[in-house]
Amino acid sequence: MAKEFKVGFIGAGGIAHTHAKNLKKVEDVTLVCAADVSEKGLEKFTKEQGVTTVYTDFKEMLKKEKGNIDAVCVCTPNGLHAENSIAALEAGMHVIVEKPMAMSSKECHAMIDAAKKAKKHLVVGFQYRFNPKTAILKKQVDDGEFGKILYVRVQALRRRGIPNWGVFGRKDLQGGGPMIDIGVHASEMAHYVMGCPKPVSATGQTWTYLGNKPMQALGMWPNWDHKTYTVEDLAVGMVRFDNGAIMTIESSFAAHIEKDIFSFQIMGEKGGGTFDPIAVFKDQNGYMWNETPGFVPNDDHFAIKMKHFVDVCRGERENASTGEHGLMVQQILEGIYTSAEKGKEVLIKDL
């Protein structure tokens, strides 16, 4: 029997419920407490997740629960990730922080330093690197089936999918729109499959043309708050890596396209592949071959993510989603946004 693992939550909104539901599936994990500025949110969390010890001040929770809980799930808006994570680490708790890791590379560095100083684990919530299809493509790259990786095209595009809840439309709290919300997922798994090369420069552009206006066409999430909408509708960027590879990223909450797309395509000297549909392309015996796996596990990558976090904290496996990985993904996002603001390519080292 595994030792009891006690968890607290900073932020009790929607994503915290997803964390909680999946943590309950892990052996000997106990959900102990939660902190949120919203009393209504805490009431819902108590009712649905059974967590009865709640706080409206996360600092009070960390102070009173110090020595009682082993780890904290940081499930707050992006702008609070660094403050919440560093405080929990300094209180002697392991941390899993939702994506993106923070609002800037500077904040990421501070979080990594805090984890090292506290000698605690910092895990970034990148669930798509645990997706079975990601694992299939990662195995091809690791085994040399694709040869040298040249180019990766990432797409996280919604035709009309502006969130009508939370603070996803507020740049001051989120840091951006689709690029930092959904583009981060597709780009981080593609970056992971590539082997996590270091980004060296970025160029990009963002556009806002629909979200800051009243709804013009019915979509899956109607009537968003266009009056407080300060993020982009569409973002496109290109990143250069230290190994010579290039990645382009396209991400949108609202774009005039045929249908939603969430995928990436990887091209190497010897072969390539796509995430969705999962396929591998290569030359074999004088012909061009398209290959698909005969079986893809139907595993829940979010559940795998949460078990991975617990296993890492228990010392049962290596951290596959480190703060250092989170920093590189942040540099990609920050580089694209900074380039869009400055109107020119930027060097990652200058961020």
Question: Are 151 and 211 part of one and the same domain?
Answer: yes
* Domain co-membership, 184 together with 264: yes
Q: Which domain does 96 fall in, by range?
A: 5-125
If asked whether residues 119 and 162 sit together in one domain, one would say no
Contact of 279 with 273, CB cutoff 8 Å: yes
Answer yes or no: is 33 within a domain. Answer: yes
Q: Are residues 265 and 150 in the same domain?
A: yes
Clarify whether residues 19 and 110 are in a common domain.
yes
* Residue 283: exposure state from Cβ atoms within 10 A (0-12, 13-18, ≥19): exposed
- pLDDT tens string for the chain (351 positions)? 578 999 999 999 999 999 999 999 999 999 999 999 999 999 999 999 999 999 999 999 999 999 999 999 999 999 999 999 999 999 999 999 999 999 999 999 999 999 999 999 999 999 999 999 999 999 999 999 999 999 999 999 999 999 999 999 999 999 999 999 999 999 999 999 999 999 999 999 999 999 999 999 999 999 999 999 999 999 999 999 999 999 999 999 999 999 999 999 999 999 999 999 999 999 999 999 999 999 999 999 999 999 999 999 999 999 999 999 999 999 999 999 999 999 999 999 998
Q: Which of 80, 110, 125 is the last residue before a domain boundary?
A: 125
Cα(305)–Cα(320) distance, integer angstroms: 10
Residue 286 and residue 152 in one domain: yes
Domains in the chain, number: 2
Q: Are residues 230 and 336 in the same domain?
A: yes
Q: Is residue 311 part of a domain?
A: no
345 found inside a domain: yes
C-alpha atoms less than 13 angstroms from C-alpha of 43 in its C-beta half-sphere: 3
Residue 119 lies in a domain: yes
State whether 147 and 284 are in the same domain: yes
Indicate whether 24 and 111 sit together in one domain.
Answer: yes
CATH number at residue 290: 3.30.360.10
Q: What is the pTM of this model?
A: 0.95
